[in-house]
Structure 1
């Protein structure tokens, strides 16, 4: 068998499989590096610019290694679009390459998502039965369940929520997903066709397993419990993390604890409906116990009485304690009617207001502990009397109660973490916008996240696997400058030192792309940004007309994006342009991008997530407008906590964190333009600080060597017309 490098080389089978394929030197270098790392073990970090062909450069060596060693490789991504690309485009190419090279046993690959994403038929049918007898759900939820059952009868899916072609409310999905706490395993009547276990079975025979970062991290945390701990994923030995620049944020979310009014009320309402006492999981189990006859009837009746009379009192006790905490938090930190986040720093933590909130928090924790204790007593008695063994209704009801007990126990542990407040974490209060309808309560919650995840990643992720490859199109903040990534993700803690490689984009940026700036724009920091936003609207309108559409306009705030869209869309529509905006009603991200691709004179307004992962080739995208330099909002509690940590260590947060993160984001935004060697167009940056302030040079140095132009709007718009091929 040839090496992966030889298979991708000029004498390999790719030219016969892909029309117009040309061998790419940096792709071959990356392929060789991945092959070497898989052979020797350890960590490899590779930045591979757009056009290098990094997917094949790691997939082919991974497939060959998996086959040769009969061991599994996990491919982890941050986004679903990249998973779709790997599964529908790149992995079929890898399979064909290996087939043409004489591999008799075809490469097997599967996608696996968390079990909460799979439908459970057992729980679906119980939920429908509860609708029929009026115990649990309302009529509209019953209709959704019927739609889900009809969809489940089709054979063109694997039971994942993402495959359902209509919306399922979160509360309804929670009742019918393959939750671990509700699982009967092999005792279930539907086990042989269980979507989750069948997916695990298929994954168990896969050579390559495609997952997301959150699932990969969950697997590593579970396995850290000891050699006997069964992971979330089937056993694996090598991991490839694409979109590796998201690893810090994914790990931060994975280790964040939170308790909110909305989430706690959802659990309590499912346990005991506050408006209808005959609905809820307590009532469901009570009804099931009431059907028992014979020698166990008296015992079952006593437990049912306790569920009816005693447990609702403890549920109400938790509700009262929770309302006390939420009201205290809003009184202390909910100034005004807008949504806000309040960081509980050292000063706030010592205030009388927070101490008062802490006392309410302790009261809620105590009430939850008491409720969990009484649930344990009921469940323990059912177990001791074996009431669930031959009664499916009791078994289902007990499992539902056990699952809710687990969620309430988790909430108790989260409150304990929030109460302790060690200095490794950042605590903040999240308060929602005041609702216009006074009948609705204002949402409020408490959150605690690790300030750093360096040691967690070293402990849970880097130790153990034979080899790990981390890659992305944007990992550096300057030529070969991996310092930000290495520090944030704890790669500098690992021994031996990771191998770091960077390959730039092979595109001819000086020929294919124009990079223009407008230094005469108003400074966005002055006059609360009003003058800048007005000038930006004029610039966007002028530039879109100059390129005749095909424009992606990227913002750093939802408010400015919506304001610009509302201001500009009517005029653009009148000129025959089709205008789309992120969050447009009825259009998800994928459908939005598909419609944009299909129209030459379209304009798409987007924020945050649209700065990356947007792959639109050809004439459909020929102009990218970056409205502001993408600095992370300094008001985010976790950002402020990280800044304070840097200051205490003698550093300067702006230059060591804020600026490098913004440079990475700007590089991602620029990268939306050229996706193929025949693409061409312009990138225009409206923020004048890139020219007027000293740090602007660092942004410009980090961008590819496109043709540069600095001028007024008239000059730039004429250049944009030429760069995008619009005759004038």
Structure 2
């Protein structure tokens, strides 16, 4: 057939010939391109003459190499074919171009819904469907109601120069506008300055008012849930006026799944905000809950415009698109596929609600289509923002969100951002006085990450780049201190001298190629020499076998003479760096106070930004000096210090010294809790199956002058009837083949709908490799975190959308998955999730109760895993633990009344066959059959 023999250039000429495109309800378009689909059960091609047939993987690879083919998710199809260089006409890219900022599940089923087409019933129908969907998508261009038309012509011209495969098909359908389009940088609105907000008034929220507000939010005629009402009234205590300095009104509230805690705390929070005129910061740990909170606030403010003004979602600046980085990418900073991504991101940015690239309205699957080409470079991950010196400062998504949050009633944030802002004083006069920490069981881990220190090669090279800017041979728009603060240097002699001294001192930090030099035994400079000594001692004390491929670590005790000898010069080099940084910070503050004639509003904002950035980098270098002082010196009982070589699959990627607090809730309490007036910490597993002392210890309440109030609302679900826990006793630990067989048999018995949880990525990959094809032959799709080239959020969307699909993954799935309904009916955990025996864990275990500390961690993980199963009153499901050695003392992790049975795998498979499935429900078989 003609499409098998023509070259790509010939086909490009064919594409330019007009051909009919299918309108909805019409016929399949006469497209000159075949469509290719591959799954674990086979590979199919649909030809332009209407034939669909199965082909071998080798034939599919030859076809894709010679001919532009229509595919959906090229990286995923390429992985299934074993052809990583697969490219072609990817329908996901076309959808992202036509409908930027629109949600779509990136599967044939999701695409069919988006296009208004019938869903393909079988795998061998998908290839023909892809050609049909192509016609439907292209026909959207002709539709008069195409909402995203503005900017499309401009984008196609740029994409054409980049040889984007869809350009010939798209360009001929988009007419050149009669006048210049309002494109991204001219279309985005500018934010406006606003006066400072007055401090919130002292008000008391009465219980009756809270209940009335809750009735309003839940809707007239809705079921009155006693647990939710009690929770809401208890939460209101956190909003009472504070009567003791450095000790907020703190409430710890454990609310079981199904209580409705989101609306429960939004009721008193919204009342307090209205009456006091202050902002409530609601902090979460997962992006999924942030999105859910955004939806729930529609009940508070049904009008879209009002809600945008009253409710703001805030994240760290590394989540948002940086317009200056995007401009650099569009003007030649990116090349090849990365440049195509930049153009599609620009299309999205013009229609985005907030510019959030991570968990916002940018399709999570879009960056993964381009593998590692550029998406992270479009955000400000290095802290190099030049603030008012940026030509897009007045349109900046980050600045807009920050200013909007100052006037908002409810700010939806995350634990990390709350702690960063509190520790570095970024709120200024608008520091929140009331916090709600949802997913409060994660506060300890978030504080552990926030208040830690790490002197590693990667961290050090980032500070070098921030200070020095571009060095010989480097690309990009990076600017050093001298370029960012040239006007200060010319105005203030001491400031200019401090900048020059900092640049000279930064030369002692690791530079490009540092890891290779260390591995070759030729470190350059005192800090690289220190890292080389760290590496040598870590390998020398390794007890697990350095060929295992995992990262290595050893405690910082009894250091070797080489390490002690290297510490002195490294400490001197860092001391020479921190001194001019401290001096520069003081000089910048002096320049602000003097307010010279040249300092207009933008210059002031830029210097204020430089002070903030310089401040936290100075803190970082100070923490490094404290770490180095520990080498050969006395241990600090408040900290755990260790050496590490970070590796992935045997490949080293970082080396360094690490320091963590034994109890990170101490700095959290000092930095966040004490300045606050009211704090609510809530979760379904706040006590981790223990008593309130666990919640007090992990939330920081123990470190306050006045302790926290406690409240418990038990889940309304009938776990005895809705769920059961099955402990499988005959799957041998460490037997990967037996583990894979167990997963496969259970998933087949349940006909999909399974969430599989692993504690090790290597075992996850091994199980996936053994069972994916087997399940596919049963018509049961399997998706896997760390295997499929798809982001975690999109994997969950796909899983939620298909009741026959199963999903396996690690911690992110255990804690961040909300899949109510029939799509999730079984959770399988590979074994008891014992904590990893790290240096940090060993120190905390010794300090916090030995075995009981381990048990608390395990109970919390089991409770979180079980919590994925029953999300609403009509859910039914089974939690399976593949472990013969499950101690009975840990069973308190599961809700009271939940049946727990130990049985063989054969018996567990029979139990799984009773679960409600697509087939059994279709045939009217009861789940109790």
Could you say which TM-score interval applies, normalised by the shorter chain? 0.7 to 0.9
Q: Is the 8 A contact 1:116 1:179 kept in 2?
A: no
The answer for the alignment partner of 1:29 in structure 2 is 230
**Secondary structure in 2 aligned to 1:44?**
strand
Q: Is the 8 A contact 1:368 1:408 kept in 2?
A: no
Q: Is the 8 A contact 1:38 1:65 kept in 2?
A: yes
| 1:252-291 equivalent positions in 2, closer than 5 A | 252-269=448-465, 271=468, 273=470, 275-276=472-473
Q: Is the 8 A contact 1:682 1:724 kept in 2?
A: no
**Structure 1 residues 360 and 688, CA, compared in 2 at 3 Å: closer, same or farther?**
farther
Q: Is the 8 A contact 2:640 2:661 kept in 1?
A: yes
**Which of 396, 399, 404 does residue 194 from structure 1 map onto?**
396
The answer for the alignment partner of 1:412 in structure 2 is 621
Q: Within 1, Cα distance between the matches of 2:776 and 2:287?
A: 31
Give a deviation string over 1:266-314, Cα, whole Å, max 9, x none.
Answer: 4435635555289886799689989xxxxx9xx99xx99x98xx99875
* Alignment of 1:203 onto 2:409: no
Q: Is the 8 A contact 1:553 1:604 kept in 2?
A: yes
* Alignment of 1:613 onto 2:816: yes
Q: Is the 8 A contact 1:435 1:442 kept in 2?
A: no
* Alignment of 1:556 onto 2:752: no
**Which of 484, 488, 502 does residue 698 from structure 2 map onto?**
488
The answer for the alignment partner of 1:465 in structure 2 is 676
Q: Which moved more, 1:115-124 or 1:578-587?
A: 115-124
**Which of 670, 685, 693 does residue 474 from structure 1 map onto?**
685
**Secondary structure in 2 aligned to 1:600?**
coil
The answer for the alignment partner of 1:226 in structure 2 is none
Q: Is the 8 A contact 1:623 1:683 kept in 2?
A: yes
**Secondary structure in 1 aligned to 2:715?**
coil
Q: Is the 8 A contact 2:383 2:613 kept in 1?
A: no
Q: Is the 8 A contact 2:387 2:609 kept in 1?
A: no
The answer for the alignment partner of 2:646 in structure 1 is 432
**Secondary structure in 1 aligned to 2:660?**
strand
The answer for the alignment partner of 1:649 in structure 2 is none
The answer for the alignment partner of 1:154 in structure 2 is 350
**Structure 1 residues 467 and 280, CA, compared in 2 at 3 Å: closer, same or farther?**
closer
Q: Within 2, Cα distance between the matches of 1:416 and 1:405?
A: 17
Q: Within 1, Cα distance between the matches of 2:894 and 2:397?
A: 46
Q: Is the 8 A contact 1:341 1:428 kept in 2?
A: no
The answer for the alignment partner of 1:48 in structure 2 is 255
Deviation of residue 323 (structure 1)? 2.3
Q: TM-score, normalised by structure 2?
A: 0.63
Q: Within 2, Cα distance between the matches of 1:414 and 1:44?
A: 33
Give a deviation string over 1:223-271, Cα, whole Å, max 9, x none.
Answer: 5xxxxxx626833321111000011111111111122212323443563
Give a deviation string over 1:33-60, Cα, whole Å, max 9, x none.
Answer: 1234423651111111111101010011
The answer for the alignment partner of 1:227 in structure 2 is none
**Secondary structure in 1 aligned to 2:913?**
helix
The answer for the alignment partner of 1:639 in structure 2 is 841
Q: Is the 8 A contact 2:535 2:644 kept in 1?
A: no
Q: Is the 8 A contact 1:281 1:400 kept in 2?
A: no
Q: Is the 8 A contact 1:552 1:605 kept in 2?
A: yes
| 1:120-135 equivalent positions in 2, closer than 5 A | 120-121=322-323, 125=327, 127=328
* Alignment of 1:659 onto 2:864: no
**Structure 1 residues 217 and 232, CA, compared in 2 at 3 Å: closer, same or farther?**
farther
Q: Is the 8 A contact 2:254 2:711 kept in 1?
A: yes
Deviation of residue 139 (structure 1)? 4.3
In the alignment, structure 2 segments of 5+ residues that lack a partner are: 1-205, 243-248, 368-372, 511-524, 541-545, 631-635
Deviation of residue 711 (structure 1)? 1.8
* Alignment of 1:715 onto 2:924: no
Q: Within 1, Cα distance between the matches of 2:712 and 2:650?
A: 52
Q: Within 2, Cα distance between the matches of 1:388 and 1:169?
A: 41
Cα root mean square deviation, aligned: 4.4
Q: Is the 8 A contact 1:120 1:178 kept in 2?
A: no
**Structure 1 residues 504 and 259, CA, compared in 2 at 3 Å: closer, same or farther?**
same
Deviation of residue 401 (structure 1)? 9.5
Deviation of residue 142 (structure 1)? 8.4
The answer for the alignment partner of 1:4 in structure 2 is 210
**Structure 1 residues 613 and 468, CA, compared in 2 at 3 Å: closer, same or farther?**
same
Q: Is the 8 A contact 2:534 2:657 kept in 1?
A: no
* Alignment of 1:423 onto 2:423: no
**Which of 538, 547, 550 does residue 333 from structure 1 map onto?**
538
**Secondary structure in 2 aligned to 1:318?**
coil
Q: Is the 8 A contact 2:768 2:784 kept in 1?
A: yes
**Structure 1 residues 366 and 491, CA, compared in 2 at 3 Å: closer, same or farther?**
closer
The answer for the alignment partner of 2:161 in structure 1 is none
* Alignment of 1:355 onto 2:564: yes
Q: Within 2, Cα distance between the matches of 1:491 and 1:681?
A: 36
Deviation of residue 370 (structure 1)? 8.0
Q: Which moved more, 1:111-120 or 1:243-252?
A: 111-120
**Structure 1 residues 684 and 265, CA, compared in 2 at 3 Å: closer, same or farther?**
same
**Structure 1 residues 278 and 534, CA, compared in 2 at 3 Å: closer, same or farther?**
closer
Q: Within 1, Cα distance between the matches of 2:602 and 2:276?
A: 47
* Alignment of 1:683 onto 2:879: yes
Q: Within 2, Cα distance between the matches of 1:497 and 1:288?
A: 47
| 1:360-371 equivalent positions in 2, closer than 5 A | 361-366=570-575, 368-369=577-578
Q: Is the 8 A contact 1:214 1:254 kept in 2?
A: yes
The answer for the alignment partner of 1:65 in structure 2 is 272
Point out the structure with the larger helix share: 1
Q: Within 1, Cα distance between the matches of 2:476 and 2:778?
A: 56
The answer for the alignment partner of 2:83 in structure 1 is none
Q: Is the 8 A contact 2:755 2:807 kept in 1?
A: yes
**Secondary structure in 2 aligned to 1:612?**
helix
**Structure 1 residues 267 and 365, CA, compared in 2 at 3 Å: closer, same or farther?**
closer
Q: Within 2, Cα distance between the matches of 1:155 and 1:701?
A: 45
Deviation of residue 414 (structure 1)? 3.0
Q: Within 1, Cα distance between the matches of 2:347 and 2:865?
A: 39
**Which of 219, 239, 243 does residue 439 from structure 2 map onto?**
243
**Structure 1 residues 141 and 404, CA, compared in 2 at 3 Å: closer, same or farther?**
farther
Q: Within 1, Cα distance between the matches of 2:659 and 2:561?
A: 20
Deviation of residue 541 (structure 1)? 1.6
Q: Within 1, Cα distance between the matches of 2:465 and 2:911?
A: 61
**Secondary structure in 1 aligned to 2:819?**
coil
**Structure 1 residues 350 and 722, CA, compared in 2 at 3 Å: closer, same or farther?**
same
Q: Is the 8 A contact 2:439 2:682 kept in 1?
A: yes
In the alignment, structure 1 segments of 5+ residues that lack a partner are: 224-229, 291-295, 647-651
**Secondary structure in 2 aligned to 1:674?**
coil
Q: Within 1, Cα distance between the matches of 2:482 and 2:722?
A: 67
**Secondary structure in 2 aligned to 1:94?**
coil
Q: Within 2, Cα distance between the matches of 1:250 and 1:120?
A: 25
**Structure 1 residues 395 and 27, CA, compared in 2 at 3 Å: closer, same or farther?**
closer
Q: TM-score, normalised by structure 1?
A: 0.80
**Secondary structure in 2 aligned to 1:683?**
strand
Deviation of residue 107 (structure 1)? 8.9
**Structure 1 residues 473 and 697, CA, compared in 2 at 3 Å: closer, same or farther?**
same
Count of aligned residue pairs for this structure pair: 667
Q: Is the 8 A contact 2:688 2:860 kept in 1?
A: yes
Q: Within 2, Cα distance between the matches of 1:175 and 1:107?
A: 25
**Secondary structure in 2 aligned to 1:586?**
coil
Q: Is the 8 A contact 2:213 2:268 kept in 1?
A: no
Q: Within 1, Cα distance between the matches of 2:429 and 2:757?
A: 37
Q: Is the 8 A contact 2:729 2:904 kept in 1?
A: yes
Q: Within 2, Cα distance between the matches of 1:316 and 1:158?
A: 39
Give a deviation string over 1:332-370, Cα, whole Å, max 9, x none.
Answer: 21353534242424xx24443542342353254256458
**Structure 1 residues 313 and 28, CA, compared in 2 at 3 Å: closer, same or farther?**
closer
Give a deviation string over 1:352-392, Cα, whole Å, max 9, x none.
Answer: 35423423532542564588699999999x99xx9995999
